[in-house]
Amino acid sequence: MYFPSPLISALELKQELNNPQLIILDCTIDKVGQSLKDSPLTLIPNSLFFDIENRFSDPNSKLPHTLVSEEIFTKEAQALSINQDSILVLYDRWGIYSSPRAWWMFKVMGFNQVYVLNGGLPAWIEHQYAVSEHYASIPINGNFQAHFTYKWYADKDYILERYKNNDTYIFDARSNGRFNGAVAEPRKGLRGGHIPNSHNLPFEVVLNGNYYRTKEELSTIFEASNSSGTEQIFTCGSGITASIIAFSSYLAGHQNIRVYDGSWAEWGQENLILPIVS
């Protein structure tokens, strides 16, 4: 079974709950200054926890949320019983926040049968579907094998090579104030401003509350940027909200997209002295 779109509805998920290939992953992380750790755990039934912050981020990196190697990703994904033929549905308890990051991570690791639940847990609850207070047990290791796919990925060196090119369009998902350097960065030791020739698209623009805007609305947003037909690179503070707008571009029909893994947490470092406009 294949869902017709990478973005699925709560109803579509409910109809497939008995599919033996289906694996539901809660991809929730804390927001800056906000946490759900002290809230009662409410989940879609049979969920497993996809731990972006710890198991799927490099603990040796000084940057937040840095991708792990394909070997570690393979090991951790197998520990979640993920197989090569699994169908993955990703959600987060905020609505739409960190689940697109997990979607991008699986794409980078060469896995295609991965979908995002539109509206996340709030959408599921809105439909009054059953919920659980516990994660499901993990029966056996899966046979998932990661294969790092560079066409989805950008690092600092790739940005330096491409940011002056006319066929590369860089979107920054941070707020307008942070993009222009008028508002201080939430992380210490970072300069204000943005990558030269990048364009501001705050991630909230592509959302309608907890949901993504329609494909038509998203197409209009990207058409207004005159970015159609070019390579698109997405950045933000640490690679999380960049993935929100990268996924929205994919929904709008763009295929040549990359997320800058280090994002402003790397580019804005005072000691790197990288080109910045403010």
Distance CA 55, CA 2 (A): 28
What pLDDT digit, counting tens, does each position of 4-23 carry?
Answer: 999 999 999 999 999 999 99
Q: Does the predicted model carry a pTM greater than 0.85? A: yes
Cβ atoms of 234 and 242 within 8 Å: the answer is yes
Instruction: Give me the pLDDT at residue 139, please.
Output: 83
What pLDDT digit, counting tens, does each position of 84-117 carry?
Answer: 999 999 999 999 999 999 999 999 999 999 999 9
Q: What proportion of the chain, given as a percentage, has pLDDT over 70?
A: 99
In the chain, the N- to C-terminal Cα span, in Å, equals 48
Give, in order, the Cα–Cα distances in Å from 188 to each of 46, 184, 202, 222, 240: 39, 9, 21, 32, 18
**pLDDT exceeds 90 at position 203:** yes
Residue 41 DSSP one-character state: P
**pLDDT exceeds 90 at position 230:** no
Instruction: Give me the pLDDT at residue 2, please.
Output: 79
Catalytic pick from 67, 87, 170, 236? 236
Phi-psi region for residue 79, left (φ > 0), alpha (ψ -120 to 50) or beta? alpha
**pLDDT exceeds 70 at position 228:** no
What pLDDT digit, counting tens, does each position of 45-92 carry?
Answer: 999 999 999 999 999 998 999 999 999 999 999 999 999 999 999 999
236 belongs to the catalytic site: yes
